[in-house]
Amino acid sequence: ESTADVVELDALIVGAGFGGVYQLKHLRDEGYNVRLVDFATDYGGVWYWNRYPGARVDSAIPQYEFSDESLWSGWNWSQRFPGSAELRKYFAYVAEKWDLRKDTEFETFITGATWDEDTNKWTIRSKCGKIYRAQFFLLNTGFSAKRYIPDWEGIDKFNGTWLHPSYWPHEEPDLKGKKIAVIGTGSTGIQLAQDLSKIAGEFVLFQRTPNMCLPMVQVEYKGGEQSWPKKQYSQLFTSRRDSYGGFFFDFLDRDTFDDSTEQRQDTYQKLWDVGDFHFWLATYKDMLFKTDANKEAYDFWKAKVHARINDPKLREILAPEIQPHSFGCKRISLENGFYEIFNKPNVSIVDLKATPIISVDKTGINTTEKHWDFDYVVCATGFDAVTGGLMQIDIRGPSGQSLHDKWEKGVKTYLGMATVGFPNMFFTYGPQAPTAFCNGPTCAEYQGDFILRTLNTMKTKNIRRIEPTADSEAKWVEKVRKIANSSLLPTTKSWYMGDNIPGKPRECLVYLGGVHTYYQILETEATAGYPNFECKIAS
């Protein structure tokens, strides 16, 4: 490597989704020499990759956009829950408004980074051999950067087309009239099932665990109207930080059994009718914490779903009589006609709990019950969620230890944004932050603001190196664990708990204290001058 080949920066930002885009704009505005890199060929993060039929966001607009008035004043969505293509258009709009392209490098996959203690800088390498040297290494890899496909025997022998939805071909495959399988009933599988069942000759959904889907209540905006009048936007965006999930709504301030049966049914019905995540995150405040409260919600949900499915056997697979897991403790998907697809003659569902997949062969899938023939198999089996994107990069701090090795047996962070032994490195939307219980743009802004404030403080105080103290990290890990254990999340297998990847440690990957509390903690830390960090002043 010659010195000429090294790009010298104040900060390298990885990931061109909401987090990375926000940091590029705001760090550059403050005079930092920054560059944004991404493996994709354009902006969007998850929305760049997820182009499968039916891909759309599960957070209603304008909760799911930046709060910057210079953006929202000139932007109108066509739907309450926009599709992936419209989200990519939004990113193109943001890139133009914020003039991001000149400082962005695409097709750049970061493979490793090492810390140099003498210069207090990271040396960061890309797959194609580029080298960056930066004081700050800012990772915005998102929670679904590393795909997961189970290692079923024979996948490589399949003669049809095998797809992971986040690698959907840019040229749409001809699916009309074909025999199509979708494996998985996460948000991706549900959205795919709704769309593909309409065009397939034969459609089969392979389900291991039922998704407790809620009605999306999609709305089309024809005349430029939006979910809320724009004059309310500033105030609405402020309210995101006062809520549990980073939305404009919040849990009720009463428990499930504070209400009479009648009042409760009435409340549930109202939450149901609004759509969005209201029945999940605007409901009674004990729903995610108390078993009997949780069961009440499940029973209401089950009755609603049963009324939409004709065949009692299918009702039992999709919404079992006995509650299979705690409601809302696996990611809930928003649906739009999902349950009705099973009333159609060309649609089937396979219950993988009863008849698991044993192998794949030339023509399709073998379960313990029978062989299924397919032209297309869409493997919507998800991601090595939350930690996968970070741990696949070979990051080595001053001791030489890699991040992968540090976290292999359990994640350790402070504030879900920094980790001991990796100075001047921050990550957003990562483990032990409100990630997944906070929507992307909301977290991008609060965590991005904290990072910017930290860099500014360091500049003012002549600090060259910052990392959390071991004690503050240990306390944060304990705090995350304690809150998780007071909730029902650990009772349920989910990617929130690391359960979806064989061999991954079982631990709650999400800080469940709520965005409002998290925001306050970040504010307090910064205002108090970073008491939980160790700072080294330049000599």
Which residues contact ligand NA7 by CB under 6 A? Answer: 144, 150, 183-189, 208-209, 331, 352, 380-383, 436, 495, 500
**Diameter of the chain by CA atoms?**
75
Least distance CB 355 / ligand NA7 (angstroms): 11
Least distance CB 207 / ligand NA7 (angstroms): 7
Least distance CB 323 / ligand NA7 (angstroms): 15
Q: If DSSP codes are grouped into helix, strand and coil, which group holds residue 97?
A: helix
Tokens describing residue 325: 């897991």
- If we measure between CA atoms, which residue out of 261, 293, 267 comes closest to residue 488? 293
Between 183 and 458, name the residue whose CB sits nearer to ligand NA7.
Answer: 183
- Please give the Cα distance from 197 to 294 (Å, whole number): 32
Between 502 and 531, name the residue whose CB sits nearer to ligand NA7.
Answer: 502
Instruction: State how far Cα 107 lies from the chain centre.
Output: 22
Least distance CB 186 / ligand NA7 (angstroms): 2
Least distance CB 151 / ligand NA7 (angstroms): 9
Work out the burial of residue 288: count CB atoms within 10 Å of its CB; fewer than 13 is exposed, 13-18 middle, 19 or more buried.
buried
Between 20 and 382, name the residue whose CB sits nearer to ligand NA7.
Answer: 382
- If we measure between CA atoms, which residue out of 178, 112, 23 comes closest to residue 422? 112
Least distance CB 335 / ligand NA7 (angstroms): 13
Tokens describing residue 115: 């810390």
Least distance CB 241 / ligand NA7 (angstroms): 21
Between 296 and 351, name the residue whose CB sits nearer to ligand NA7.
Answer: 351
- Please give the Cα distance from 440 to 426 (Å, whole number): 16
- Please give the Cα distance from 141 to 413 (Å, whole number): 16
Per the listing, tokens 């010659």 go with 2
- Please give the Cα distance from 415 to 518 (Å, whole number): 8
Please give the C-alpha separations between residue 36 and each of 9, 14, 72, 123, in angstroms, as whole numbers: 11, 6, 23, 15
Between 44 and 423, name the residue whose CB sits nearer to ligand NA7.
Answer: 44
Between 37 and 380, name the residue whose CB sits nearer to ligand NA7.
Answer: 380
Please give the C-alpha separations between residue 319 and each of 191, 271, 293, 311, 491, in angstroms, as whole numbers: 18, 19, 18, 12, 18
Between 100 and 497, name the residue whose CB sits nearer to ligand NA7.
Answer: 497
Q: Which residue is nearest to ligand NA7 (CB)?
A: 186
